[in-house]
Amino acid sequence: MSSDDRVHLEELLRTYRRRLQVLELQAAQFGIYAPPHITIEIDDLKVHIQDTEMKLGSAGRSVPAARENGTLSTQQFQQLTERFLALPSLSTRSSRDAVVQQLPSHITNAISRHDSAKVDVVNIIRTVLNYKEGLKLLVNAVRFFDDGTEQLQALEAFLRKTNLAWY
């Protein structure tokens, strides 16, 4: 693969990821009433991202920012979001701030915060999924505040059930 082809694929990958982030934010805002075209495009973009990452990987380039959530369907992502939203530590803006402050600064600084709890939690999850072991760091942060709660147990059970090995 020529360097021009590689540069093109890297730019394409960045574009796909930006589009995916915007669409997932829209899907979160709509909730269960998300238009089907958004859900379909999200699924299509995940396939495009995975294919592009594979092309770059086979060309001898590792993909350091490969998303850990590549195996999550839209439905699984929404279920994961609901599990996080149920946690007492993520119920208010101030408690979400306390959780986010437990994360490394390079992750904290990358999170686009929002007044809406659901959108804020989606942004937090999306951002941590962009970092190696980011989800694990977030789970550890909420565990600090919610240890022993039924909601945390439900989140951990969901993570095990969906075989999220990177958890």
Every domain of the chain and the residues it spans: 1-63, 70-167
In the chain, helix, strand, coil percent, each to 5? 75, 0, 25
Q: How far apart are CA 53 and CA 66, in angstroms?
A: 7
Q: Can you give the pTM of this predicted structure?
A: 0.60
- The string of pLDDT tens digits covering residues 7-57 is 898 888 888 888 888 888 888 888 888 899 998 998 888 888 888 888 877
Task: For residue 72, give the nearest of 36, 42, 31 by alpha carbon.
Answer: 42
- The string of pLDDT tens digits covering residues 140-167 is 999 999 999 999 999 999 998 887 655 4
Residues 84/121, Cβ–Cβ less than 8 Å: yes
Phi/psi for 148 (5° steps) reads 90, -5
Going from the C-alpha of 26 to that of each of 88, 119, 147, the distances in angstroms are 24, 9, 31
